[in-house]
Every structure is written in C-alpha cells, then in structure tokens.
C-alpha cells in the first residue's frame, strides 16, 4: 500500500519527531533512512530496502565503473553521504540529527509536515511546504505528466 496523507507534528525539545501510527504501520520497519530530499530543503524518509533500491538504480552501471562519473559522485555526496539510519523508538519517534534539521530549517518545538509520497515520506518545515508550488494546479501537473508519458 502507498504511503499517503499529510500530517502535522511537532518536533520535541530533543529533536525527536513522532511518525504517525498510520505511516509507521505502512512502513512496517523499525529503522528508517533519512536524507536530504529532492525538492527544496525537505528531508526524505525511506525504508532501508527502498533507499538501497533507489540508490542502486540511480548510480548502477553496467560495467561497475559508475564511480568514474562526476554526476554519480555528486549525487552520492548530496544524497547518500548525508543519509542516516535511524531507529524508530517504542513511542514511534525518530531523533533527527542536527545537520539534517538545519538543512530543512526545522527547529525544536516547531510544527512540521510529514507527507506520504507513495514509496517514501517527505518531512517539511511547515511554512516552506505551504509556499511550495502554490501557483501550480493539479490539473496542470496531470497534463504535464500525461505528456511526459506519451513521449
């Protein structure tokens, strides 16, 4: 089942974030991988298996020489290197490292938004998320996606 929904949660004084029970159930794991997200200054939350698949699909080469590619190395530095494997504690919380919280402009005791993105979760500073793509309609995006599928 796909990870869906928008959830507003608060970061506690220790930098911990509660993963809503619906998302935890759908994730079905006791550890997650958190890294810098693809858009803006969000964070991305993956199951370890999906993170490994995503990275492998992104950088795998037929000949094993993909590390010779400057693009692969840059992607690895920006996406793989900052990633952290985090335990989900018995209360359903993760403790997000300061470096990742700073990247996402997330302070302690602030409200944030977790959004289900199908196979992963994005974690956003609430104000940044509300400003994100506010000028685009679902209809315009659906039309653009349909055009991409045709080509």
Residue 143 CB-half CA count within 13 A: 5
Residue with tokens 């995503």: 54
Confidence check: pLDDT of 18 > 90? yes
pLDDT, position 62: 60
Specify the higher pLDDT residue, 138 or 112: 112
For 11, residues 6+ apart whose C-beta sits below 8 A from its C-beta are 17, 96, 101, 106, 107, 108, 109, 110, 112
pLDDT, position 26: 93
pLDDT, position 145: 83
Confidence check: pLDDT of 16 > 70? yes
The proportion of the chain whose per-residue pLDDT surpasses 90, expressed as a percent, equals: 68
Least confident of 19-23, 89-93, 97-101, 139-143: 139-143
């Amino acid at each position: 089942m796909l990870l869906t929904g928008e959830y507003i949660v608060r970061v506690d004084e220790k930098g911990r974030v509660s993963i809503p029970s619906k998302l935890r159930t759908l994730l079905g794991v006791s550890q997650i991988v958190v890294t810098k997200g693809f858009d803006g200054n969000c964070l991305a939350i993956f199951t370890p298996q999906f993170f490994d698949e995503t990275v492998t699909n992104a950088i795998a080469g037929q000949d094993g020489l993909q590390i010779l590619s400057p693009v692969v190395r840059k992607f690895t530095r920006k996406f793989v290197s900052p990633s952290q494997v985090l335990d989900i504690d018995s209360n359903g919380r993760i403790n997000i490292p300061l470096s990742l919280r700073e990247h996402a402009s997330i302070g302690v005791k602030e409200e944030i938004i977790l959004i289900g993105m199908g196979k992963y979760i994005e974690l956003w500073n609430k104000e940044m998320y509300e400003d994100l793509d506010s000028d685009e309609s679902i209809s315009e995006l659906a039309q653009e996606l349909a055009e991409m599928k045709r080509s």
